[in-house]
Every structure is written in structure tokens, then in C-alpha cells.
Copies of this chain bind each other. A is one copy, B any other.
Amino acid sequence: MSQMTQTAASEARPYHHGDLSRALVEAARRILETEGPAALSLRAVAREAGVSPAAPYHHFKDKGELLDAVAHEGWAALDTALDAARRKAVDGKERMTGLGVAYVGFARENPALYRVMYDCSRDKDALPEQMKEEGAYCQVRNTIGERSGGTVSPIDLELATIAAWCAAHGLAEMASFKQFDALKDALGGEEAFLRAVFEHLGMFAKFDQA
């Protein structure tokens, strides 16, 4: 045991790896960050982990299942990013736009990972199960609920959460488009741009107490 996640094929690892499934997921994330999603082949992951092309099949049914594991870690990371953003702001409105900015920021800083997360979701036509009763999605719902003072019907709360989530996702996918560069400059940078867009999404006004 005590295999110490090695960064590549090196130091003559023993025949049995120790924790290959973990090493594979980490190798995949490393490739995503450094070479982009196009370079993420199963064989490349195995290579990066210092293992034969067929080895991953003892830990994952196929390539999709490996990506599922990567996506799972991605959702967890997004969760903690949103959690941090939610704690930072006290004001209700700022807390909401702060969440949005943090969401898009995460997608912009981890574009390849973000893509994998949604590609996996699309293949199953569902966000990960875990998001239902906890996780990032619920953070958004709770934040909206708090801000409304708890007087909102469950259906309206769900609709508002969906609306917010969709808007953030759409913005996350488009924020990198060159078309908006001039506008970003005019507004004083990317974050100002994001805040401006979120302010135009006045979707929570109807829930404001004040």
C-alpha cells in the first residue's frame, strides 16, 4: 500500500498499482487541464497513469464511466466553489449575483472539466443524482428561498431555481465568445460584464421582501 499518487509512469511501480481508479481520474483531469478535451482519449489517460491501454477496463466499464467519475469530482468542486461564494456575501442580492459570478468563474477556469460535466449529464438526460437533495443546485435553491423569506410556493421556488441555473449555464458557455470582448472592455473587465448581465436577469425581483 502507500503508493503516493505518482505523476506519471515513473519509479518502476509494482505490478499492481495500488489505487489505479483514483490515479486514472487524476490523470484524466491533468490531461484536460494541459491538453484540452480533444486529447482526452482512454489510451492517453492510461499512458499518463503509466499503465497499459486495457488496464482501465478493470476499474471502469468503458470510457464513459471514467468520464462519469471525472464529472463527479467536477460537480463536487463546483459545489465547494459556490459554497465559498455564498458565505462571502451577506446581502441577499449580492449573495445571488455572487453565486452567479462564482458559477461562471468556475466554468471559465475549468472549461474542459465543465464541458465533461455537462456532456455526461446530457448522455443521461439528467444532472447527477447527488444534486437533487444536496450539492450546488440546492445551494441556489436555498439562497433563493432564504431571500424570499420562505413565503414562496415550492413550485415557484423550483422554477426560479431552474431559471437561475439555466441563465448561469448559458452565460458560462457564452462568456468566452469573442463577440463580447468589446462590451467587456467597455464595462471594465470580465467580472463587471458578468455582473451587468446578471443584473439584467431580474428574475428574483418578485421574491424580494423589501
Residues of chain A touching chain B, judged by Cβ–Cβ distance below 8 Å, are: 118, 121-122, 125-127, 132, 155-156, 158-160, 162-163, 165-171, 173-174, 176-180, 183, 186-187, 196-198, 200-203, 205-206
Q: Are B118 and A173 neighbours in the complex by a CB distance under 8 Å?
A: yes
Q: Are A166 and B167 touching (Cβ within 8 A)?
A: yes
Cα(A160)–Cα(B79), bound, Å: 28
8 contacts between A and B (CB under 8 A): A118-B173, A121-B177, A162-B174, A163-B198, A167-B201, A170-B173, A201-B203, A202-B203
Q: How many copies does the complex hold?
A: 2
Closest Cβ–Cβ distance, residue A32 to chain B (whole Å) = 15
Q: How far is the CA of A186 from the CA of B158 in the complex (A)?
A: 12
Flag if B196 contacts A159 (CB, 8 Å).
yes
Bound form: Cα–Cα A122–B170 in Å = 12
Given contacts A201-B201, A202-B202, A203-B202, contact A170 B165 (CB under 8 A): yes
